[in-house]
Structure 1
Amino acid sequence: MKVLHSASMLSFSPGIYKQMSWENESSLKMHINFTSKIFCPVGVYPDSEIIEFASFKKPKNIIEKFIYWIKLKYEYYNWLSEQQNKFDIILLRYSVHDPFLLKFLKEAKIPIYLVHHTLELPELRSFNTVGKIRGFLEEKIGGKCIDESYGIICVTNEIKKFEISRLSKANVNKPTYIYPNGILLKNNTSLSDKREDIPELLFVASYFFDWHGLDLILKDIINNNDDFILHIIGRVDDWQKDIIKVDSRVRFHGLKSTKEIQEIAERCWVGLSSFSLDRKGMTEACTLKVREYLSMGLPVYAGHKDVFLEDFSYYMFGSPKIDFILAYAKKMRNINRIEIRSEANELINKEILLLNLYSYLGKKD
């Protein structure tokens, strides 16, 4: 069974690039016929085995971006039509309000699964006027695309329920599968532990959107006098920094390299994830950041549910209260980092998750 997982991208996303690169690496290790490809303009992603370039370069301005979106979709679905002769099943990272997708699905010769990573309608509607217009278009086109697909693959159960709710009554029994995000683990790597007596916490994002809920944590810290250090890594807006004013316990590092993040993580007791997904209509998530924390042997405290079962001790779902976070950090203080990574292995290991998906597809083929 030959499977293609593909996405069309007009701009660079490090998370998507990591996920699809890891899929290719994992499939080679496990000797399964699973290929991941990103279709994009020249210059958007680095040239590699998972990249398929369009005939044009990345857009330079907003006008070009609109025109090139159309060109990209036109070339992408032509390319996909050719791939149907080489593969048995195609998985497509879902593209919102995409009429080209609808046309392709109607004409597809092999099973096409749509892969969903978010609640598309609530997320689009949470943005400005343009987002609301896009939400209107998605409402008109999206349900038809999902109806025309062979099956639905989602990263969380919440997303799965939402996508099923968009189906027509005739298609509510369409095949569905939960395929969580995963990470390529290197279990032979040693985990350095440099924790000291004062709790240190780590909160990482490339950019802190409002749904990360950083503002909620900072507001709660104002009324707390405990000893701790909160490391905030990523781009933070001035309005968020202004909440806390000057507090030596809160350290804004800006963007850091993977190595620099690793060095800071070695001193930390707990990693923090999003605390306000409700701002984009979600209560569950399956973030890459949580998996990276766990791979470093860091237990996680977050304001959202993940795919983990409740008896998984190293993921704590709670409110953005620094007292609660510190209590969890102290509870986890003496747990060995290797034990945490080992316990998380089956839940976050890309190789295991991909093999499970491939087996599922084989049964449906």
Structure 2
Amino acid sequence: MQSPQKILEDLQKNSYAPIYFLQGEEVYYIDAITQYLEEKLLTPAEQNFNLTIVYGKECSMATLLTQARRFPMAARLQVVIVKEAQEMADLKSAMGQQLLLHYVHHPQPTTLLVFAHKYKTIDGRSAFGKALSKHNVLVTSKKLYDAQLPSFIKSFVQNLQLSITEQAVCLVEAYIGNDLTRIANELHKLRINLTANSTITDDTVEAYIGLHKPFNLFELQKAIVQKDYPKSYQMIGICASSSKEHAALPIVTILYNFFAKLLVLHQTKETIPTKIAQQVDIHPYFIKGYLNAVQKYTLHQTMDNITYLHQADLQLKGINSNMNDYQIMKELIFKLMHP
């Protein structure tokens, strides 16, 4: 099994295999590899006759493999891509798997067959999974851990012919989280506003990625620390109007973690900011904000707020509450800032 980064590097060197099975939770790499195979291997003229894109829900294995076995027209190869392959019923049936395995053992050398199997993975312990892994390029794209995000951001920025400060990397993480697709989109948009070889600073991130956003958890957290009631309630209203994008439970979890860190800070005897940051597992760039929050919320108030957040978590799960999510969050914000 190869890493997504290695596959992209090989493709850029014109090194490719007859079959790619791309699977996993992190769709960024699946989309990136699929897009490269779709756009870069054939010229626009060759694509007219040699690029076939089908969708899993609408395609049978027999029809797909018939297409894969044909020869390219006026080109050295053809590319056949199955998007949303996780919706392909034949991938779950014994007959469909048998047909694919026969092709895997005898692939058409002038065809690149690509399965974009998002969000899910084939059971690697099954005979089908083992055969896929052994006889073609199987890529499992996993969500990055938080510790891996800085390297991803720096590498992506470097490919955009830009550089980025450590503080700016930290802000990108705080504003966006580990959504690689959104990180890539936001950095691409930021690149349009900068000249080549520019440096992305924390001011740049706030101007183009952070502060113009109607809602993000980082800004809500800052508003609560500053006890900015109007802004906090406004942001909760925005959250309620787009509940699919800003679900209440993750917000409560992040605020709970924030006050849990304040609890540690209240009890630490450490005085050096960088060492304090290590104790509570935060980037040193943010330690000033946390130390400011310690001044705003006493130890007793911090413990009360942790209790309020625990109660809100239970209410959002339907325990001891007949309020909707917006009412629960509005009441929670009031309690947090009036401990």
Say whether the fold is shared (TM-score over 0.5). no
TM-score (norm 1): 0.28
TM-score (norm 2): 0.30
Larger Cα-atom Rg:
2
Larger proportion of helix: 2
